[in-house]
């Protein structure tokens, strides 16, 4: 017998069997030049993605919706709901560039020079000839005004924005790149002032605001009270004689002075359009004035869509692949009650809200003067985040109906307005994991509209994961989470928390039942030491985390902050060039003692998960006796096998609040392959392996996103 001929025959038979046994794949084609009365075949493509989805719902097996190259303008949400398919893929044709956009194209001929003498007089002389205007009343396109944003306010769609040559314009501002200190305060806007409807009034110390008297749509932004709480609110009145500004509404807290981060800046002033890429909305006249970011304008787009561009509800086994989702006032993709829904190899950019939301939001009918969305929450709502952060604050077991095994992977997310991804899922009462995930994504410039508590990735629920993401360039947090058994791993986090005070790149807190969370093999670099900025922040009594294999390289003023909690295990981490490495305090014994009082916040949150019964009593046995174990005293915080290199002070706090052993504190070279780049690891003969017993080499080659960097316009 000829063995080679026999083997070839077997291989051919196996190949034929595999091919014939694979499920058939139906293809539906869509083209910007198609027609919804067509069949959807290659030779007769459909015009809308929605029509293709409706056709796919009637089919069984595996269905592929092929998007041919071009722009798909969305005026109503593309809704994907339960069908008969085994799987559904919506993807760009191989090699095609596909945009799903929520914008309206503005004809270039509608861009005009400023001819109004009144407006010319308000403009700075050196830019008069450069400023352009679009009259949207003439175009019959309504333009929305700015609305209040910031800490304690619901996250809602942004106002209309202009994009020129694919780049989002920025609201004009003064000062351009800094903020001005808040002057003396006449009316703080505290609870007593709110009760008497006395709007805040503060002094300004500069002369520039005296030039703004002709403007009737001035807004101010900044950090008016606490450094973790930004605001954007309208101005009611400027008194140039007394150099005061009266705010047009109250803030979540009140105006304060006495700290370097308590600052303000003005936005949306025609008078302050002085840099390429700036714009201002004249709401009363329905015009937008702008300074083109480039000499040649190829295209102008106005974001108009408020609802999600794509909504996937009550279905499974769906993929969105290789498309650009852009230029909308709201979110990009919304998921609810889904399983195995994956957003893969997409670019999500120029959005007014988040790129992706896994799970529902909430929205209260109205917020009063004494409550804000960080401490309350309304009814469940689809397609909007609203005040869901506040809902989870008052109801820590709230179910967002996010589903399971859903993910975002291999995606670029940038120039989004209010955070990158909102990731819900899992059951906090039963500790059943959802296994939702974000992996191998680049998330940058994600706070164009809303800043505080709008992280690159928000996580809630149980058993979710972030892996191999590069997160950078933001005024606030990288990751904010609530819940249990989450994993944050192999991420590279740089240049975040650039404006704030008292925040962390990775942050959670104020609930001792949120345990079992793992933070491992992440790289924190170049976090601002200017204010109180932390890399891993366990706030207000947070407990029970495992943190290992991380590299903290110039990672803020306090790379680690343990705010009164217990049972944290820090091991095999590397701390490099920081004034302080670890801060531990006993705040639950002093200013935060109310949290552990009978019937207080912590008792409410522990009772919500029935912490003395399974599964909590089995998963976290030390939690059962929480209130009988001196809860105000930090304990069992184990700090071992860590390298502290060129650290001025290892511990800010008392040693009795942590258990320190087998660490190495040194100013000598511990054996880095490259002292300027700890991601190149250690030499094989590095001293660290001799000085720290059982110190393990960190898998630095696995840290970070493998997607190539791109040139982002912002």
* Closest CA relative to residue 477, chosen from 462, 488, 490: 488
Residue with tokens 């001196």: 630
Asked whether residue 114 carries a pLDDT value surpassing 70, the answer given is yes
DSSP 658-701: SEEES-EEESS---BS-TT-GGG-B-TT-THHHHSTT-----GG
CB atoms within 10 A of CB 275: 14
Asked whether residue 712 carries a pLDDT value surpassing 90, the answer given is no
Q: What angle do CA 281, 287, 290 make, to 5 degrees?
A: 60
Residue 152 DSSP class:
T
Burial of 591 per CB tally in 10 Å (0-12, 13-18, 19+)? exposed
DSSP 627-661: GGS-TTS----EEES-EEEEEEEEEES-GGGSEEE
Average pLDDT over residues 256-271: 96
Would you state the pLDDT for residue 365? 74
Asked if residues 628 and 680 have their Cβ atoms less than 8 Å apart, the reply is no
Asked whether residue 438 carries a pLDDT value surpassing 70, the answer given is yes
Average pLDDT over residues 468-496: 97
Q: Is 67 helix (H, G, I), strand (E, B) or coil?
A: strand
Query: Which tokens go with 459?
Result: 């996580």
Which helix (H) or strand (E) segment is 12 a member of? helix 3-21
- Cα 273 to Cα 122, 125, 266, 382, 477: the distances in Å are 10, 11, 12, 37, 29
Query: Percentage of the chain surpassing pLDDT 70?
Result: 95
pTM reported for the whole predicted model:
0.95
Dump pLDDT digits (tens) for 62-75: 999 999 999 999 99
Dump pLDDT digits (tens) for 632-646: 999 999 999 999 999
Dump pLDDT digits (tens) for 569-628: 999 999 999 999 999 999 999 999 999 999 999 999 999 999 999 999 999 999 999 999
CA atoms within 13 A on the CB side of 93: 14
Asked whether residue 366 carries a pLDDT value surpassing 70, the answer given is no
Q: Which residues contact 546 (CB under 8 A, 6 or more apart)?
A: 517, 518, 519, 520, 568, 569
Asked whether residue 386 carries a pLDDT value surpassing 90, the answer given is yes
Query: Which tokens go with 360?
Result: 């529902």
* Closest CA relative to residue 29, chosen from 79, 107, 96, 127: 96
CB atoms within 10 A of CB 530: 15
Average pLDDT over residues 554-582: 97
Dump pLDDT digits (tens) for 33-46: 999 999 999 999 99
Pairing relationship of beta strands 437-439 and 407-409 according to DSSP bridges: parallel
Query: Which tokens go with 392?
Result: 């989870």
Could you state, in order of their start, the residue ranges of all structural domains in the chain?
Answer: 25-97, 104-172+272-302, 174-267, 421-436+448-701
- Cα 305 to Cα 47, 103, 107, 134, 500: the distances in Å are 19, 7, 18, 19, 31
* Confidence category of residue 374, pLDDT binned at 50, 70, 90: confident
Q: Is 107 helix (H, G, I), strand (E, B) or coil?
A: coil
CB atoms within 10 A of CB 93: 16
Would you state the pLDDT for residue 530? 82
Q: Is 108 helix (H, G, I), strand (E, B) or coil?
A: helix
The rounded distance, in Å, linking the Cα atoms of 556 and 133 is 43
Dump pLDDT digits (tens) for 314-332: 999 999 999 999 999 999 9
* Confidence category of residue 370, pLDDT binned at 50, 70, 90: low
* Confidence category of residue 9, pLDDT binned at 50, 70, 90: very low
Burial of 249 per CB tally in 10 Å (0-12, 13-18, 19+)? middle
Asked whether residue 296 carries a pLDDT value surpassing 90, the answer given is yes
Residue 287: phi and psi, rounded to 5, are: -130, 150
What is the overall mean pLDDT for the chain? 94
Query: Which tokens go with 649?
Result: 């002070």
Residue 396 DSSP class:
T
* Confidence category of residue 112, pLDDT binned at 50, 70, 90: very high
Asked whether residue 420 carries a pLDDT value surpassing 50, the answer given is yes
Asked if residues 24 and 50 have their Cβ atoms less than 8 Å apart, the reply is no
Query: Percentage of the chain surpassing pLDDT 90?
Result: 92
Would you state the pLDDT for residue 295? 86
The rounded distance, in Å, linking the Cα atoms of 562 and 658 is 10
- Cα 26 to Cα 3, 15, 68, 83, 122: the distances in Å are 39, 21, 16, 14, 61
Would you state the pLDDT for residue 59? 93
Cα-Cα-Cα-Cα dihedral sign, residues 424, 426, 431, 437: negative
Asked whether residue 12 carries a pLDDT value surpassing 50, the answer given is no
Burial of 387 per CB tally in 10 Å (0-12, 13-18, 19+)? buried
Q: Does the N-terminal peptide bond of residue 193 adopt cis geometry, omega within 30 degrees of 0?
A: no
Would you state the pLDDT for residue 213? 83
Average pLDDT over residues 236-264: 95
CB atoms within 10 A of CB 145: 15
Average pLDDT over residues 641-664: 97
Average pLDDT over residues 381-409: 97
The rounded distance, in Å, linking the Cα atoms of 32 and 50 is 13
Asked if residues 329 and 352 have their Cβ atoms less than 8 Å apart, the reply is yes
Fold topology of 25-97: so0334 like fold (3.30.1910)
């Amino acid at each position: 017998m000829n063995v080679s001929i026999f083997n070839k025959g077997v291989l051919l038979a196996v190949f034929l069997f595999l091919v014939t046994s694979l499920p058939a794949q139906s293809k539906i084609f869509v083209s910007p030049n198609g027609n919804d009365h067509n069949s959807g075949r290659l030779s007769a493509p459909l015009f809308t993605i929605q029509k293709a989805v409706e056709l796919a719902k009637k089919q069984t097996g595996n269905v592929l919706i092929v998007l041919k190259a071009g722009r798909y303008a969305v005026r109503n949400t593309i809704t994907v709901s339960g069908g008969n398919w085994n799987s559904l893929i919506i993807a760009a044709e191989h090699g095609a560039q596909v945009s799903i956009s929520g914008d309206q194209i503005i004809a270039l001929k509608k861009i005009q020079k400023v001819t109004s003498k009144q407006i010319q007089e308000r403009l700075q002389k050196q830019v008069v000839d450069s400023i352009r205007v679009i009259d949207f009343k003439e175009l019959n396109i309504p333009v929305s005004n700015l609305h209040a944003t910031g800490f304690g306010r619901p996250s809602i769609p942004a106002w209309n924005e202009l994009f020129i040559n694919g780049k989002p314009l920025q609201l004009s501002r003064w000062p351009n790149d800094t903020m001005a200190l808040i002057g003396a305060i006449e009316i703080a806007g505290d609870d007593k002032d709110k009760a008497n409807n006395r709007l805040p009034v503060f002094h300004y110390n500069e002369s520039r605001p005296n030039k703004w008297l002709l403007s009737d749509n001035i807004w101010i932004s900044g950090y008016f009270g606490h450094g973790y709480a930004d605001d954007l609110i309208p101005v009611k009145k400027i008194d140039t004689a007394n150099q005061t500004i009266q705010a047009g509404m109250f803030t979540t807290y009140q105006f304060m002075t006495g700290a370097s981060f308590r600052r303000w800046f003005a936005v949306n002033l025609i008078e302050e359009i002085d840099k390429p890429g700036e714009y201002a909305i004249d709401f009363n006249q329905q015009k937008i004035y702008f300074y083109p970011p480039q000499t040649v304008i190829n295209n102008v787009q106005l974001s108009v869509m408020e609802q999600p561009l794509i909504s996937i509800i009550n279905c499974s086994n769906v993929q969105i692949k290789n498309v650009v989702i852009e230029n909308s006032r709201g979110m990009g993709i919304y998921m609810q009650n889904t399983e195995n829904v994956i957003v893969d190899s997409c670019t999500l950019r120029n959005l007014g809200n988040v790129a992706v939301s896994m799970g529902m939001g909430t929205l209260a009918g109205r917020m009063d003067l004494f409550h804000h969305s960080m401490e309350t929450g309304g009814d469940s709502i689809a397609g909007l985040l609203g005040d869901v952060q506040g809902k989870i604050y008052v109801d820590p077991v709230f179910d967002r109906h996010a589903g399971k095994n859903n993910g975002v992977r291999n995606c670029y997310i940038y120039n989004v307005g209010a955070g990158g991804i909102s990731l819900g899922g899992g059951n906090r009462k039963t500790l059943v994991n959802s296994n939702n995930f974000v992996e191998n994504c680049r998330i940058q410039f994600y706070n164009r509209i809303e800043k505080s508590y709008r992280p690159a990735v928000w996580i809630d629920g149980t058993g979710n994961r972030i892996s191999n993401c590069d997160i950078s360039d933001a005024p606030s947090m990288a990751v904010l989470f609530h819940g249990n058994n989450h994993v944050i791993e192999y991420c590279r986090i740089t240049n975040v928390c650039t404006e704030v005070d008292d925040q962390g790149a990775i942050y959670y807190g104020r609930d001792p039942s949120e345990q079992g969370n793992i933070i491992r093999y992440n790289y924190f670099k170049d976090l601002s030491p200017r204010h109180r900025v932390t890399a891993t922040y366990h706030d207000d009594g947070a407990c029970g985390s495992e943190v290992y294999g991380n590299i903290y390289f110039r990672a803020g003023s306090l790379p680690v902050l343990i705010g009164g909690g217990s049972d944290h295990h820090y091991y095999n981490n590397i701390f490099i060039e920081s004034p302080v490495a670890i801060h531990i305090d006993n705040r639950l014994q002093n200013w935060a003692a109310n949290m552990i009082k009978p019937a207080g916040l912590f008792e409410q949150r522990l009772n919500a998960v029935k912490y003395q019964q399974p599964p909590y009593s089995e998963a976290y046995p030390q939690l059962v006796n929480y209130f009988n174990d001196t809860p105000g005293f930090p304990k069992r915080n184990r700090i071992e096998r860590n390298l502290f290199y060129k650290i001025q002070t290892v511990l800010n706090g008392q040693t009795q609040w942590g258990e320190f052993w087998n660490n190495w504190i040194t100013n000598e070279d511990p054996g880095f392959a490259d002292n300027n780049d700890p991601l190149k690891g250690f030499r094989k003969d590095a001293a660290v392996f001799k000085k720290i017993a059982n110190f393990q080499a960190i898998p630095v080659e696995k840290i970070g996103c493998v997607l190539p960097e791109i040139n982002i316009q912002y």
